[in-house]
Chains A and B, each alone.
Chain A
Amino acid sequence: MATRNRTTVYRKHRDACKSARAPLSLSASDSFGGPVIEMVSGSFTRSNHTSYAPLNSNDPGPSSSDAFTIGMPPAWVDDSEEITFNIQKVRDKMSELAKAHSKALMPTFGDNKGIQRVVEMLTHDITDLLRNSEKRLQKLSTRGPSEESNLRKNVQRSLATDLQNLSMDLRRKQSTYLKRLQQQKEGQDGVDLEFNLNGKMSRLDEDDELGGMGLDEHQTIKLKKGQHVSAEREREIQQVLGSVNDLAQIMKDLSALVIDQGTIVDRIDYNIQNVSTSVEEGYKQLQKAERTQREGAMVKCATILLILCLIMIVLLVLKNLLL
């Protein structure tokens, strides 16, 4: 893995070339290097290339971008930047979500609705962000075989891969959360509730047997509370399921864009050839089109001529007849 850096040699020579190219204009317009220094260093440069390096500090330096102003990037770059920003945001939120998930699953005595709300909100936000980015991503696509569109396609692909990975991640988190939630439900509430209900039922039977004294006030409250809790859980599960489905949709859309690794589509040379063949193909099509068009014009001309000829003949015959 040896390498050799030739940049300094290159720069040295480039600077030498530059000073050789425009020595006059430089000394005339040089405002900050004093005339004395200029003369001294100038003679230095010509006599000895290696001692030119210190002079560099006077110059703006070849690495600065003012020699060649960076042009305005096209508008789609904003889109792609926005998506990148979104992806970053999603990543942050994902880590928050992971924390919230583990907190929500922790057995608490009090009510953990607060945490659950946070989970809900985070999930909602992330899904929104993903959906938003996906929509923007669609906007990036273009048609035509030009370099520009190729570039955009590749940007789109790379972002799509990122987005897909993120949504996969989110889905995985969601489903484990969901599973654990259900486990908890079965493990505590489920058994409890069932037990309670069974107990209730048997009690009811007992009560009936005892002569229909009606429900115990305390037990009714307990039952209602149990029902309430289970409904709450049900709702949560529904919600998580809903977001899983949403994500599945997004995944499906994205997967059309993402490259399968290890296949021919993932080969660099194949892609280059593909572009060049499609360009060639396009060129051929164009030629063909041109030919047919020209032929069309020719045929038109011929028909017009023919019609004119006929008209003339008719006129001639008419003229002869009349005379």
Chain B
Amino acid sequence: MVLVTSVRDYINRMLQDISGMKVLILDSETVSNVSIVYSQSELLQKEVFLVEMIDSISVSKESMSHLKAVYFIRPTSENIQKLRYQLANPRFGEYHLFFSNLLKDTQIHILADSDEQEVVQQVQEYYADFVAGDPYHFTLNMASNHLYMIPAVVDPAGLQRFSDRVVDGIAAVFLALKRRPVIRYQRTSDTAKRIAQESAKLMYQQESALFDFRRTESSPLLLVIDRRDDPVTPLLNQWTYQAMVHELIGLQDNKVDLKAIGSLPKDQQVEVVLSSEQDAFFKSNMYENFGDIGMNIKRMVDDFQQVAKSNQNIQTVEDMARFVDNYPEYKKMQGNVSKHVTLVTEMSKLVEARKLMMVSQTEQDLACNGGQGAAYEAVTDLLSNESVSDIDRLRLVMLYALRYEKENPVQLMQLFNKLASRSPKYKPGLVQFLLKQAGVEKRTGDLFGNRDLLNIARNMARGLKGVENVYTQHQPLLFQTMESITRGRLRDVDYPFVGDHYQQGRPQEVVIFMVGGTTYEESRSVALQNATNSGIRFILGGTAVLNSKRFLKDLEEAQRISRSGSHMV
């Protein structure tokens, strides 16, 4: 069962047993969980006529006792407090409480204490505590995503909250899948280790009865890894549809906010939905590269024109009847066509303005091919190019620094200086901070494929064969990791098990959780891997979905905090 359907099933089950008019009450996190998989019209079909946030529901005092309240919230203490006040002065006829994660007994007691009028009909735990954007990709949408880079001594409370939330999310995913996994983690990352251990404690000790599902022949695997093991992927420009939209415009819960671009005509919608569940065109093109999308959109526009033309010549009554019959379909098609055309037009404008073709070619070279001297030349050239934007300059230097960290330090220093002089907004030391966080000593995986002879040979073979598309030749490190798992070659030294629960045989389900966030390039990689039917199903999750902007922002934030932290110490 995939993630999207399981969240949908949870919501269906929540709503179908309660008859009559309902109001659905969500909190700031569950609103994303629900709205990414469920639509307003589907809610209306289930007789949910009002959707409110838990904050605004307590503001009004107007009684609506003809409605039944269905709460779907996270069991946080703030939510419990708000709910408590609500139960003391109920506005609705009945209360059905659904929590998206494990309730503590004390929380139940608090609620029961304040429910003097006995309005609560049921209290349930429905574990839909993650945002399932795609069938095999989920995120926890955490605001303070930078915390994973910060050592525990600097902000212990913050890190505790961070890892608690992550463990909750992971637990919910496995409860939704009805599985108890064996857990492995990346040895070099303290955060990953901590999260893996706390998850194991929850699943095998604290709530061991709850996680005791029917045994399958081979236990699923949970692998907790750190974003810093592959800092390259979030720094690259993307050329496949979904990843590109996120990189250039920004995708939040499958919504694109076009306001950020400006330059749009007034009457156009400022937000559009890009969901593989509802949009067949997007579903078949989300992993295609930019050139192919252009062609496919052209085809779609042609089809649409055909339909539009046939709708224009209405002569007989039958024509009219047919037109009215097809009108909703036609209107839907029109909306879809204009949505994709707008997106692609805007993106190609950006590509043109920021000279992304040129930039990206160098980026891909840095990430995939060797040759330090040539790379230095290319990066210097681009740094002095006027039309290259500041963020692209910074990314180029970062990629260069990650790749040639140990070679020719003089040239590296020269690049730093040049970057500082060309980009006035550049915060000094950010690249060095990145190297400190995710440099070669910190990394476990063979990011650039230059550590063992086999990988070097493979890279050379690929170089000789030539690549299909220069812009999409990069494969994320995750691809290698998945391959190792498929072949059963993931090394125990690098990715140790937690506790005494070892893998027996090959796992059939693998959840890879990336602390620090995933990218859509990796999500694509997972989807393509699953499409090959290798017998293993991968699910990818992360604390956030990154694009380069978000990754750099997190990096800056972490740098700021660790700097002030070191001053304090």
Contact = CB atoms under 8 A, between A and B. Distances in A.
Interface in B45-81: 45, 47, 49-53, 56, 60, 62-67
B271 interface: yes
Contact of A158 (B44, B108, B112): B44
Interface string A128-157: 000000000000000000111011001101
A101 interface: no
Contacts of B67: 151
Nearest to B254: A267
A104 interface: no
B39 A267 contact: yes
B528 interface: no
B35 A269 contact: yes
Contacts of B13: 3
B97 to A, nearest CB: 8
A9 B66 contact: no
A168 B328 CA distance: 11
A252 B124 CA distance: 43
Interface stretch (B115-123, B467-475, B490-498): B115-123
A77 B123 CA distance: 28
Contact of A271 (B51, B90, B279): B51
Contacts, number: 189
A272 B52 contact: yes
**What's the dominant secondary structure at chain A's contact region?**
helix
Given A74-B66, A77-B66, A260-B335, A267 B118 contact: no
Contacts of B32: 269
A31 interface: no
Interface in B318-339: 318, 321, 324-325, 327-328, 331-332, 335-336
A77 B64 CA distance: 12
Interface in A87-121: none
Interface size class of B (residues with CB under 8 A): 35 or more
A23 interface: no
A261 B124 contact: no
Contact of A261 (B23, B111, B278): B278
A17 B35 contact: no
A267 B35 contact: yes
A70 B62 contact: no
A10 interface: yes
A154 B44 contact: yes
B124 A269 contact: no
A132 B90 CA distance: 37
A62 interface: yes
Contacts of B103: 6
B255 A264 contact: yes
Contacts of B123: 5-7, 9-10
Contact of A262 (B49, B213, B278): B278
Nearest to B41: A259
A263 B125 CA distance: 31
A173 to B, nearest CB: 12
B126 interface: yes
A67 interface: yes
Contacts of B56: 276
Given A14-B118, A68-B119, A266-B40, A260 B331 contact: yes
Nearest to B253: A269
A1 B176 contact: yes
B155 interface: no
Contacts of B108: 6, 9-10, 13
A147 B271 contact: no
Interface string B263-276: 00000010111010
A301 interface: no
B34 interface: yes
B103 to A, nearest CB: 6
Interface in A1-43: 1-7, 9-11, 13-14, 16-18, 21
Contacts of B60: 147
**What's the dominant secondary structure at chain B's contact region?**
mixed
Nearest to A251: B324
Contacts of A272: 26, 31, 51-53
Interface string B83-125: 0000000100100000000110100110111011111111111
A261 B9 contact: no
A5 B121 CA distance: 12
B39 A268 contact: yes
Contacts of B271: 264, 270
B563 to A, nearest CB: 36
A71 interface: yes
Which of A7, A10, A168, A255 has most chain B Cβ within 10 Å?
A10
A242 to B, nearest CB: 11
Interface in A163-182: 168, 171-172, 175, 179
Contact of A241 (B35, B127, B317): B317
Contact of B50 (A7, A10, A147): A147
Contacts of A151: 23, 49-50, 64, 67
Nearest to A12: B112
B62 to A, nearest CB: 7
B176 A2 contact: yes
Contacts of B349: none
Contacts of B53: 272, 276
A1 B9 contact: yes
A298 interface: no
Interface of B: 1, 6, 9-10, 13, 21, 23, 26, 31-32, 34-35, 38-41, 43-45, 47, 49-53, 56, 60, 62-67, 90, 93, 102-103, 105, 108-109, 111-113, 115-127, 175-176, 178, 210, 213, 253, 255, 269, 271-273, 275, 278-279, 317-318, 321, 324-325, 327-328, 331-332, 335-336
Given A63-B121, A260-B328, A268-B39, 13 more contacts: A7-B124, A9-B108, A67-B118, A70-B93, A175-B325, A179-B318, A255-B327, A259-B40, A262-B335, A266-B41, A269-B32, A270-B35, A276-B53
- For the complex of A and B, 3 pairs with smallest distance between CB atoms: A73-B66, A71-B65, A268-B35
